[in-house]
Chain A
Amino acid sequence: MAIIEVSNLSKHYGNVHAVKNISFKVKENAFFALLGPNGAGKSTTIEILSTLLGKDQGTIKINGYELDTDDDAIRKHLGVVFQYNTLDKDLTVMENLELRAALYKMTKAEYLKRVETLDRLIQFQSFANQRIRHLSGGQRRKADIARALLHSPRILMLDEPTTGLDPKSRKGLWELILKLKEATKMTILLTTHYMEEVLDADHVIILHEGVIRAEDSAENLRIQYAKDTLKIVPKATLKDLLKRDKIPFRLVNQTMHIDLKNPFQGIEIVKTYKDAIETFEIVKASMDDVFLNITGERLEETL
């Protein structure tokens, strides 16, 4: 059953058409990702879904409620982690959480119980009484997530949550998100421009210039849009042998690249031509290759 249904969504900023007539559905309890570079329309989409931004066109249903008609009902079941830190820097983590609890009409007892539960998942007690401005980037992100989950939402929206974090904090945060997914069974809607972050997603949408260019599970996208590659450092005879057997290859510097249907095909080629090979490796297709093949651009080039 779909918990989010988006039909023909469009949004303009002046003359810029940021989101162009996109439609998609997010299943309940799914881990759903919107992948794309800056300017692809990811944040605009998530801001519309989180009731922050008005849409120009289209219909959106979240949790059975119509956006723009039942926004308060939608907000009750929505937790949002923004790209930027929204917690008050001069308040402690607990003071920030207390305020948010009041905004969701939680009683003191409900709030304290929920904080205890969240601490078991997120582990923020060690810095709970420190002001946000004194926390590290990773700790602030944890506090942000605790804030978003305080009212036990059914849907968690994460808008590029690892942006600006150092690699260690990014890894830690990512492990936390996967742990939350397992523990809470929430629907998670993620926007990111990091390809490795969508590998665990049940469903990935590739957005480019406001348009959905492809969607499927990460693995299916890889199979469909990118190929594993056999990279060979050849001996002198290999080139002629491959031409004779009509095996297509590309020469990249001194290396031969052969696109594979699957890794086993690579093993067969290596076995057949082992006497003409100095060394080799089989490189799995990445989401970056998927993005390149779909959009004609490398993701990191567009950031």
Chain B
Amino acid sequence: MMIFALIKRHLKIYLRDRWAVFFSFLSVIIILVLFMVFFRNAFGTVTDTTEGQYMINGWIFSGVLMVATVTVPLGFLGVMVTDRETNAINDFYVAPIARSKIVISYLVAAIIIGSVLGIINLILGQVYMFISVQTFLPLITNIQLLLLIILSTTLFSSLFFYVVTFIKTANSHGTLSTLVGTLIGFLAGLYVVVGSLPTATRYIMALFPTLQMASLFRLVYMNEALDLLFQENTVRRETESFMLGIRIEIGSFELTPLILLLFSLFWITLFITLSIMRLKAFKK
């Protein structure tokens, strides 16, 4: 009851700051603009066919979905940073509620807002898809994407929750957000074609949760498009999948969907454990 009231409060504070919401989506907007202006042409004649457009739309919107699950929780956690900087959090500390619950309420709210805005992104992507190629993703794909949004938001919320516990000012949080917003397009393989990168760079990127989650989103989002585009041509499908960062590998070891899911659970466990260890920093 008390924790729900706090979560509701955090969400209201975030949503009423329209600029904070806008900046949380800035990376998404930049990615869409870059795609429209530059990247679309890089795919050459593939875009001439409906199947090709379907695949490319899937590539860009799966990336956008993934990026939003990174930047929205990070933007939201600015509420916690500001509460600490302005001492507004002291008002909660003098209420009969455990400090750990107060702190955890920010994490839960980050997961909720990231998931909800992720779902809105998913719907907007589907609307665009329908307008451009007159098709919707299958229901099962939508359900899988929904679960992935929640999984990815949980992962990046817990990661950034841990990070922002070290941050004391809104200024530092703004700098971190700018840095993440700039890097995310590269780390998720959105500004670059992953397969064209040097081998060592590819392997290092594959170790980061950003490319791992992006790969999962692409695998689900683009599955049907790849079936339609390459049909029986499995060799071509495989080559393009590695090139576009849909499938990733380290050496000859492919990170299969199951391995990627296990990786994401590992990251969540790691960052939640680290965050719990950081709770002592909030003790009086």
Contacts and interface: CB of A to CB of B under 8 A. Distances in A.
Contact of B94 (A51, A87, A91, A105): A51
A84 interface: yes
Contacts, number: 69
Given A51-B284, A103-B95, A91 B90 contact: no
Nearest to B95: A103
B5 interface: yes
Interface string A59-95: 0000000000000110110101010101110110001
A72 B9 contact: no
A45 interface: no
B92 A103 contact: yes
Contacts of B98: 72
Interface residues of B, number: 25
Contacts of B95: 75, 100, 103-104
Nearest to A54: B284
Contact of B13 (A84, A88, A102): A88
B135 interface: no
Interface in A42-64: 50-54
Contact of A51 (B2, B12, B87, B93): B93
A39 to B, nearest CB: 18
A86 B90 CA distance: 8
A90 B17 contact: yes
Contacts of B87: 82, 84, 86
19 contacts: A51-B94, A51-B284, A52-B90, A72-B97, A72-B98, A78-B94, A82-B90, A84-B87, A88-B9, A88-B13, A90-B16, A91-B9, A91-B13, A95-B12, A98-B5, A99-B8, A99-B9, A103-B92, A104-B96
Given A86-B88, A90-B17, A103-B5, 18 more contacts: A51-B284, A53-B284, A54-B283, A72-B98, A76-B96, A86-B91, A87-B88, A87-B91, A91-B13, A91-B16, A98-B5, A100-B95, A102-B1, A102-B5, A103-B2, A103-B92, A103-B95, A104-B96
Interface of A: 50-54, 72-73, 75-76, 78, 80, 82, 84, 86-88, 90-91, 95, 98-100, 102-105, 147
